[in-house]
Amino acid sequence: MQPSRLIATALAFLAVALHAPADAAKPATRDRAEIPLQYRWDFSAIYPNWEAWEAGMRELESKMDAFAALKGSLARGPAEVLKAYQAFDDIGMLQYKVYRYPQLQRDTDTRKQDVAGKFQRVTALFAKFGTATAWFTPELLQIPQATMQRWIRETPGLAPYAFTILDDYRKQKHVLDEKGEKLLSFAARFGQTPTAIFQELSTSDIKFPKITLADGAEVTVSPANYQHLLHTNYVQAERAKAFEAHLKTYAATANTYAAIYNGVLQRGWFMAQARNFPTTLEAALEDNAIPPAVVTTLIDTVRKGTAPLQRYAKLRRKLLGLAEYHLYDAFIPVYRTERSYDFDASKDLVLEAVAPLGADYVEKYRRWMQGGRLDVYENEGKRSGAYSANVYGVAPYVL
């Protein structure tokens, strides 16, 4: 099964399982140790233990050192260029495992400083590799493009890398010399600081309040419970209570979030200036060769086309019987249903839904769902949101 198909199906599955009303099968606890194993990630498919991960780190560093030693070889001919790209692929395959093993564990509980420390070691190693290989693109671009195109035509092994190589020539005017690229590589060591601060503030150090519903139930308005209330509670006042309590938690540190965002903007400005882009927008779009007009046209089109959305909101207000319509009213279904789904029942529904794709697809998907690749319920310290994380040679992990 192609990874893209698996990921698409997994995300569809999550949409059913996590956004539909859930019954008592959902654990009442937020203590990860008390959540049954079948609802938690199993990391042993990546590495059996931290000792094996340490060995992977040593192997990766050795491969990185060997790659850095290729400096000065690219102009010798297509065989040397191919050797470099194949070596980089070899590093990339191992990078997935070495990176994901601590990263995924950190995301399940960002408060664990021992895991966070190991993750920081990985990112530091990657930054070191970026500095040690700052020579690569400038050296590659010293080879005339016509020569490189001929090498690609005459060397079948370079065919898989042709797009990547020629795309570097497209971006050539924004590539600095080796000294400049090395200087920029040091920015990687602090460039993720705004993200790291946001992670700690919004996950590790945050405490969500409890609200009391009309039936006497006390609910902690954590991200998952908050979304559940907005999607299932038909009492507008209770949705409003959840909305206000949840957002006030973030509003209490609004100035800190503003400072974090400013750090993100300043980082973007720095990189745009360093690489000679006229705007940060153009810098952000360059890798994918997207003209800025695509973004500005999209914004203009959306601004001019809000009337249907406004009519839709008015229709929802009418169908829900509300005097006023607020953001927290945008998620509740307009027609009530008593039907509910727990996580395990949702899995069976998805298997039925993908049956037309064939028995082989269904069986592979069934094994994936039973293989410790889904981390289902929230717990203290777990990051919010959802994602599918690829690990080369291992099925995706879905949060």
Q: For residue 372, which phi and psi values (nearest 5 degrees)?
A: 70, 30
Cβ neighbour number for residue 124 with a 10 Å cutoff: 12
User: Model pTM?
Assistant: 0.84
Range list of H helices, the chain: 3-19, 50-68, 78-108, 113-132, 136-141, 145-154, 162-170, 178-185, 188-191, 193-199, 223-232, 236-251, 254-274, 280-286, 292-304, 307-320, 343-353, 359-369
Q: What contacts 151, CB < 8 A, 6 or more positions away?
A: 77, 78, 81, 158
Positive or negative, the Cα torsion across 350, 16, 110, 33?
negative
- Residue reference for tokens 């937020």: 30
Contact by Cβ (8 Å): 17, 343: yes
Helix 78-108 vs helix 50-68: angle between axes, to the nearest 10 degrees? 150
CA-wise closest residue to 394 among 362, 371, 376: 371
pLDDT tens string, the chain, 399 residues long: the values are 444 444 454 444 444 444 444 444 677 778 898 899 999 999 999 999 999 999 999 999 999 999 999 999 999 999 999 999 999 999 999 999 999 999 999 999 988 999 999 999 999 999 999 999 999 999 999 999 999 999 999 999 999 999 999 999 999 999 999 999 999 999 887 888 998 899 889 988 899 999 999 999 999 999 989 999 999 999 999 999 999 999 999 999 999 999 999 999 999 999 999 999 999 999 999 999 999 999 999 999 999 999 999 999 999 999 999 999 999 999 999 988 878 888 888 889 999 999 999 999 999 999 998 889 999 999 888 988 889 999 999 989 999
Q: What is the DSSP letter of 205?
A: S
CA-wise closest residue to 194 among 126, 131, 254, 265: 265
Rounded distance, CA 50 to CA 341, Å? Answer: 37
Rounded distance, CA 233 to CA 228, Å? Answer: 8
Rounded distance, CA 131 to CA 67, Å? Answer: 12
> Which pLDDT belongs to residue 25?
62
Q: List the domains of the chain with CATH numbers.
A: 1-30+336-366+374-399 (no CATH), 41-186 (1.20.140.70)
Q: Which amino acid is at 148?
A: M
